[in-house]
Amino acid sequence: MTESKKTRKTDTRIKSIVDRFEGTIVERPIVIANKTFLAGLGFASQVQSDFEAKFEELAKNGEKVRREARGNLDSLSERLLKQVEAKRKEVAKRAESTLKTVLDYSPVATTSDLKKLERKLDKVLAEVARSPVSPP
């Protein structure tokens, strides 16, 4: 007698894990694990989408705050420059007033004093030049 071997025809398509354990005691835990895995993938995808949307929103808000801060900084610098210029003028006036007061009380001749003296001297010299000189 010849023994004939019966060969089992194997399924060439790849079965999923759930299909492999169908009808066994571990089928239910495998199904639950598979659903849990798929839920995790879905959750990760949703978190990534939400993160990207939130990230874009935060970037836009940050740009808005930057523009406002620059505007505030520009206006602040303009105000400070105006205040500095006003204080500089005030200090210059005070210094000029103080210098005038000091010169009024000091025996030092000022430029205007020298010009007055020069005009008087010119007048005196002109009168001397016009008057006849008598020999002694």
Residue position matching structure tokens 């000029």: 96
Torsion sign (Cα): 22, 24, 27, 28: positive
Residues 6+ apart with CB under 8 A from 27: 18, 21
pLDDT reported for residue 122: 93
- Distance between CA 17 and CA 27 in Å, rounded? 9
pLDDT reported for residue 46: 92
Tell me if the pTM is above 0.75. no
Exposed/middle/buried for residue 134 (C-beta within 10 Å: 0-12, 13-18, 19+): exposed
One pLDDT digit (tens) per residue for the chain, 136 residues: 555 555 555 556 667 777 777 888 888 888 888 889 999 999 999 999 999 999 999 999 999 998 888 888 888 888 889 999 999 999 999 999 998 888 778 787 778 888 999 999 999 998 888 887 665 5
